[in-house]
Structure 1
Amino acid sequence: MRITAVLCVRNEGAFLLEWLAHHRACGITDVLVLSNDCEDGTDAMLDRLEALGWLVHLRNPGPHPEGPQWSALKQADRHPLVREADWVLPLDIDEFVNVQVGDRTISALLAALPEATAITLTWRLFGNAGVVRYADAPVTETFTRAAPEVLHWPWRAYLFKTLVRNDGSYRKLGVHRPRAPDDDRMAAQHWVDGAGRKLPASFHRGRIFSDVGRSPYGLVQLNHYPLGAVESFLLKRDRGRGVHADGGLDVGYWVERNFSTVEDRSILALDSRPLRASLHADAVLGPLHRAAVDWRHARFRTLMQQDAWRSLYGQLLMAGPTRVLAREEAESIWKPHIGVHRAGA
């Protein structure tokens, strides 16, 4: 069985080896990576990884009128690694599949859900947890504080990526879900969430987030590390978003994702350290990784010479962990007539 992951990257060399080692341990058999306009040596790392048989690397240089990720996905649609796959899963570098059944591989997940034609891997947001300085350390070991399983707001916390059977039911890849459905095949769709529950037909065509107010986990979750250290978030804003040309990586983005309510180390039960060590030990990859780390430190120092970046940095330092809203408070957002009365108000 061939399970292909599609990854789009720019200036992510410092995080690449951990991501690849984890997902090979998790059972991804093929990886198609599209890079654009890299300055930190990510593209050189990908060339070396392709030579070692770890992935296939395509360049996706700008300009990208629709955003670099959409341009990359259009390339991926046509690539044999996607066309010949049994299952396909587009992912980002800050997303880690966390299977919690069997041997914690995607094959075990599929065995537990034999009727599924698509599985929604819902984000579990992992917050900043007070980490300010970027350090060359595994993301999954550094950031272990997460959102609770049940949230009532924001809905963006329950966005999902879709592991989809590549049987022709959908003709195009999408960022969160497959696109261009074949109308004749929709009746046979069997979508399930990360808890194994069958999802209604509304998910077959348009939904990109799970229902708030109940846990979408149990068999699998998608650990999402959108913030990282404060220093890393500035570099993320500097890099820009893959889909939205207008950026949007501001304090509001930070607040909606900085949940550090509960500890969750479950992903560490899948041990990818030997694979990671073998990649770092490579005579070419090791130095390229260290150069990417040095680039991040240097780029942060450059950004901090400008007042606007210093201002954002200070705002993030002042912003505490995000408070989980009670159901009544969340409902007051989409049902304004309800109102919220808090003690002492």
Structure 2
Amino acid sequence: MNILAILTVRNEGAFLLEWLAHHRAAGFTDFLVFSNDCQDGTDRMLDRLDEMGLITHVRNDGPYGKGGIQFTAYKLAEKHALLAKADWAMTLDVDEFVNIHCGAHTVTDLIEALPQATAITLTWRLFGNAGIVRYEDKPVTETFQRAAPAVMHWPWRAAMFKTLYRNDGTYGKLGVHRPRQPDPVRIGQSRWFDGEGRELNRKFAGTRIFSNFGQSNYALAQLNHYALGAMESFVLKADRGRAVHSDQMLDLDYWVERNFNGDEDRTIQALSGPMRTELDRLMADPELARLHGEAVTWRKARFEELMLLESYRALFGRLLTTPPSRPLSKDAARFLTHFANLGRKTRQQ
């Protein structure tokens, strides 16, 4: 099978090789990667990986449509030959790591475990900051091992998923969390399953982007989401801006809704051996090793530049003073959900 990962990146060269090594070990066969406006050499690293035949790099330098940078990239991907030949496809970000719990921990094992599925939702498991302040050039998957509990009642972002789906023509467009524009003839034949192996209702085939609250969604697979990283890295993430909502600066609201550290989760280490083998092979290339080192140096220098500005210095200070987030009880979440539903009904009237 051709299993395609579609990735968009900007100024993330320090993390790129680990991400690629992990997902090669996890069984993805093809990588279509879009870059835009990189100052740290990410684009040059992607050029080198393209020369080596490991990925396909497309520069997404604009102009951008009303959907912004990421959706402009997806429109380019929809016309690309790699997507046309893919049997399965999935859109991902560089801070998201597919984590399969069945078989030999590969995507193929997950697909074989759910032979009737045409789409499989991999729910985020949010990995917190764990009090790590300084950025270091170490694998993300080995550095951050504190996560949200398997059962969360709030916030709804803790239940968001990304979709691995069969590229059989049922959907005409790519989306951040799920394929879009379903074919009205084919959609009735689609079958969606979640990371626990449960078949999902028809809403998931059409519009849903998050799993149900108050239950585990991870028995067969999950998506490790390292959205925060070290506090230094979060300051750089705020500087980079959001890929989708580029007009919204990252601040404490984003941090607090993701900084859960109550549970330890090392399950991704099941692929640490194959990942390390792939990573060592990539770093054995002198050009990739040089570019990786330059990206690391750029990150450290950029952080020091940003700390001279009051807004970023204030953000860093808030990160230092804010404690880890506390998961809400079922009753507290029910209280919030009650008003969320009332608000939705009011807007519909």
TM-score bracket, normalised by the shorter chain, equals: over 0.9
Partner-residue secondary structure (3-state), 1:222: strand
Quote the Cα distance in structure 1 between the aligned partners of 2:303 and 2:291: 19
Mapping for residues 272-311 of structure 1, pairs under 5 Å: 272-311=275-314
Question: 1:288-308 CA distances to partner (integer Å, 9 max, x unpaired)?
Answer: 000000000000000000111
Quote the Cα distance in structure 2 between the aligned partners of 1:43 and 1:247: 24
**Superposition deviation, residue 29 in structure 1:** 0.1
Q: Which residue of 1 aligns with 2:115?
A: 114
Structure 2's unaligned 5+ residue stretches are 341-349
1:259–1:322 CA contact under 8 A, matched in 2: yes
Give RMSD over aligned pairs. Answer: 1.0
Mapping for residues 68-107 of structure 1, pairs under 5 Å: 68-107=69-108
**Superposition deviation, residue 247 in structure 1:** 2.3
Q: Which residue of 1 aligns with 2:126?
A: 125
Quote the Cα distance in structure 2 between the aligned partners of 1:274 and 1:163: 25
Question: 1:183-206 CA distances to partner (integer Å, 9 max, x unpaired)?
Answer: 111111110000000000000110
Q: Which residue of 2 aligns with 1:160?
A: 161
**Superposition deviation, residue 335 in structure 1:** 2.1
1:67–1:244 CA contact under 8 A, matched in 2: yes
Question: 1:321-343 CA distances to partner (integer Å, 9 max, x unpaired)?
Answer: 10011001111112259xxxxxx
Q: Which residue of 1 aligns with 2:325?
A: 322
Q: Which residue of 1 aligns with 2:147?
A: 146
Q: Which residue of 1 aligns with 2:57?
A: 57
Quote the Cα distance in structure 2 between the aligned partners of 1:40 and 1:245: 19
Quote the Cα distance in structure 1 between the aligned partners of 2:115 and 2:29: 19
Quote the Cα distance in structure 1 between the aligned partners of 2:98 and 2:310: 38
Q: Which residue of 2 aligns with 1:33?
A: 33
Q: Which residue of 2 aligns with 1:342?
A: none
Q: Which residue of 2 aligns with 1:263?
A: 264
Partner-residue secondary structure (3-state), 1:335: helix
Q: Which residue of 1 aligns with 2:347?
A: none
Higher fraction of helix:
2
Q: Percent identity?
A: 59
Q: In structure 2, what residue type is equivalent to 1:262?
A: D
Q: In structure 1, what residue type is equivalent to 2:126?
A: L
Quote the Cα distance in structure 2 between the aligned partners of 1:218 and 1:66: 34
Partner-residue secondary structure (3-state), 1:58: strand
Q: In structure 2, what residue type is equivalent to 1:191?
A: W
**Superposition deviation, residue 63 in structure 1:** 4.0
**Superposition deviation, residue 66 in structure 1:** 2.4
Quote the Cα distance in structure 2 between the aligned partners of 1:56 and 1:306: 37
Q: Which residue of 1 aligns with 2:230?
A: 229
Normalising to structure 1: TM-score of the pair?
0.96
Question: 1:188-238 CA distances to partner (integer Å, 9 max, x unpaired)?
Answer: 111000000000000011000000111111000000000000000000010
Partner-residue secondary structure (3-state), 1:333: helix
1:126–1:225 CA contact under 8 A, matched in 2: yes
Structure 1's unaligned 5+ residue stretches are 338-345
**Superposition deviation, residue 249 in structure 1:** 1.1
Quote the Cα distance in structure 2 between the aligned partners of 1:310 and 1:248: 14
Quote the Cα distance in structure 1 between the aligned partners of 2:292 and 2:138: 12
